[in-house]
């Protein structure tokens, strides 16, 4: 059953349900081509699963839930693609020429990824009137090999090394609140 258009709209996805479903299908096919053939039994030995549970990773796929990590990644990637901006849309948002957006992508002062030879720029790095403060310092420190979903989640999730009022905040929130970009850039450089 397709996802209702209202649900997609609330999530900021500007695709029709059938277009979103087609996108997910293409991404799942791509993941299937790239995924190594699983071993006959790809479950973790109980001792390793117990160690992960002790480390607080109880909800990790394959441990306590029947979550399919490939399906989760495909859905997250499809949603990221659907909410990302094209070069032309990013240029309008930044009030610059599309050539300037492509230049910043080449300089890696904006974060983007290619989808069928076209740049996509995730929306998390934009505010109402420009890019995330300090992004031009943080983005170049991100490894080009990081998966776009990993980058999006890293920007969105609280980081124990970034605190405001003794409470961890996400890199995005840190930068939006006017925090200096240097600590965020240092953490970004360590991501693999």
Task: Calculate the alpha carbon distances from 114 to 35, 84, 119, 141, 180 in Å.
Answer: 19, 11, 5, 18, 29
Q: What's the pTM? A: 0.70
The fraction of the chain above a pLDDT of 90, given in percent, is: 54
Contact present, 94 and 100 (Cβ < 8 Å)? yes
Torsion from C-alpha of 146, 124, 70, 169, nearest 10 degrees: 80
What pLDDT is stored for residue 184 in this prediction? Answer: 97
Residue 17, token pair as written in the block: 């349900």
- Cα separation, 156 vs 111, in Å, equals 14
Q: What is the pLDDT of residues 118-161, one digit of tens each?
A: 999 999 999 877 999 999 999 999 999 999 999 999 999 999 99
Domain ranges of the chain: 1-34+47-53+63-83, 84-190
Interior/surface letters 113-132, b for 16+ CB within 10 angstroms, e for the rest: bebeeebbbbbbbbeeeebb
């Amino acid at each position: 059953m397709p996802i209702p258009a209202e649900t997609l709209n609330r999530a900021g996805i500007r695709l029709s349900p059938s277009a979103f479903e087609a996108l997910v299908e293409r991404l799942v096919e791509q993941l299937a081509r790239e995924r190594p053939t699983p071993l006959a039994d790809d479950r973790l030995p109980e001792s390793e699963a117990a160690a992960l549970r002790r480390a607080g990773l109880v909800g990790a796929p394959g441990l306590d839930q029947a979550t399919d990590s490939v399906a989760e990644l495909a859905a997250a990637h499809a949603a990221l693609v659907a909410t990302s901006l094209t070069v032309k849309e990013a240029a309008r948002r930044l009030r610059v020429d599309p050539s300037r957006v492509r230049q910043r992508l080449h300089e890696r002062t904006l974060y983007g990824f290619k989808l069928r030879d076209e740049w996509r720029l995730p929306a998390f790095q934009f505010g109402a009137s420009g890019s995330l403060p300090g992004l031009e310092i943080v983005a170049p420190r991100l490894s080009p090999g990081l998966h776009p979903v990993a980058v999006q989640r890293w920007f969105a999730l609280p980081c124990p090394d970034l605190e405001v009022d003794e409470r961890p905040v996400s890199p995005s929130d840190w930068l939006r609140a006017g925090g200096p970009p240097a600590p965020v850039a240092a953490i970004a450089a360590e991501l693999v």
